[in-house]
């Protein structure tokens, strides 16, 4: 038969075990919130549809933080994105923030990467002082594709098709005249 003292010890053990389990869960969960971060800001001059608070921020593909706030910039035209990035991660000056699609869901993330080559597309010009350390942004792949397609379209429009077609008509007329020549018929036969 179980004595009163044994019931008390078992009850005390269960309560201490549950309290210890809850403390471990809180400690593990709180370590994520107590982790030190540096805060940065970037500005986009394009739609950031699909980018949400909590969206991942990666450095050359490695997760280093998340989006902490999305605002309209003080100039009223750019979109301000504030990010919290792991304090151990340093962001060099020649690195840019760029929007990237995550699969086919339309969700977006920010990837910080180096751009060494001379690019034709410039980051947005700021007419105000950023409130946090600033990471320049670079247009996303879809914006770059749109710009490239517009350039190709403009090149096609700039082609002088009238001169080309007039030249072809002239060459075909000369060939026709040459073929109708009686000496040419003797040569061909």
pLDDT tens readout for residues 122-144: 778 888 888 888 888 888 777 77
Return the pLDDT at 2: 61
Q: State the pairing for strand pair 107-114/56-59.
A: parallel
For residue 57, pLDDT beyond 90: yes
Decide: pTM greater than 0.85: no
Return the pLDDT at 1: 53
Mean per-residue pLDDT, 5-20: 83
Which residue did the predictor score with more confidence, 27 or 137? 137
pLDDT tens readout for residues 159-177: 888 888 888 888 888 877 7
Return the pLDDT at 71: 93
Return the pLDDT at 50: 87
With bands split at pLDDT 50, 70 and 90, how would you rate the model's confidence at 69? very high
Determine which of 7-11, 101-105, 117-121, 180-184 has the lowest per-residue pLDDT on average. Answer: 117-121
Number of C-beta neighbours around residue 45 at 10 A: 15
Of the candidates 77, 92, 57, 83, the one whose C-alpha atom is nearest the C-alpha of residue 126 is: 77
């Amino acid at each position: 038969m179980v004595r009163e003292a044994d019931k008390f010890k078992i009850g005390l053990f269960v309560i201490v075990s549950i309290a210890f389990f809850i403390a471990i869960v809180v400690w593990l969960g709180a370590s994520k919130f107590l982790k030190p971060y540096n805060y940065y800001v970037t500005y986009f001059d394009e739609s950031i549809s699909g980018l949400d608070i909590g969206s991942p921020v990666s450095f050359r593909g490695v997760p280093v933080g998340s989006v902490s706030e999305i605002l309209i910039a003080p100039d009223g035209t750019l979109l301000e994105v504030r990010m919290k990035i792991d304090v151990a991660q340093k962001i060099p000056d020649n690195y840019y923030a760029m929007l990237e699609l995550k699969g086919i869901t339309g969700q977006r993330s920010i990837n910080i990467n180096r751009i060494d080559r001379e690019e034709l597309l410039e980051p947005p010009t700021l007419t105000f002082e950023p409130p946090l350390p600033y990471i320049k942004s670079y247009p996303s792949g879809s914006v770059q594709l749109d710009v490239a397609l517009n350039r190709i379209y403009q090149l096609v429009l700039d082609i002088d098709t009238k001169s080309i077609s007039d030249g072809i008509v002239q060459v075909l007329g000369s060939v026709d005249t040459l073929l109708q020549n009686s000496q040419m018929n003797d040569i061909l036969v």
